[in-house]
Amino acid sequence: MPLIHKKEKYKNTALDEDLLKIFEEYTPPDVKGESKSKVRSLVLAIFLGFVGAHNFYLGYTNKAMIQLILSVIGGFMTNGITTIIIEIWVIVEIIFIAKGRINTDADLRPIL
């Protein structure tokens, strides 16, 4: 039984052509849509970051809910200690958004 080179074995098969069509036409549904604004997310982070408004805007709802719960409810229970921790977290996120380290929203659309 002769050895068949892999390139020759799979060359121009109907399956390859079908897969190529699928890959060329497919765009994930979560990537479609408009991009989010970098300036808008920075403004939200600066003024309402302690309640996670910028994360809600970017679609990171789990992270935003944690920030909201920790700053509002946790702030009352710990006399503001968790609010200070959230503010440090928000300052880090402001720097990350400004520098481009956070450069996509939750749906992997670029932040422009």
Is 16 part of any domain? no
The whole domain housing 58 covers: 38-99
pLDDT tens-digit readout, 13-36: 665 666 666 655 655 555 556 889
Q: How many CA atoms lie within 13 A of 101 on its CB side?
A: 6
Work out how many domains the chain is built from and give that number.
1
Is 46 part of any domain? yes
Q: How far is CA 86 from the centre of its chain?
A: 20
Is 9 part of any domain? no
Is 22 part of any domain? no
* H or E element in which residue 58 lies: helix 53-58
pTM here is: 0.70
pLDDT tens-digit readout, 60-103: 999 999 999 999 888 889 888 898 999 999 999 999 999 999 99
Is 49 part of any domain? yes
* H or E element in which residue 92 lies: helix 81-99
Q: How far is CA 60 from the centre of its chain?
A: 7
Is 89 part of any domain? yes
Is 20 part of any domain? no
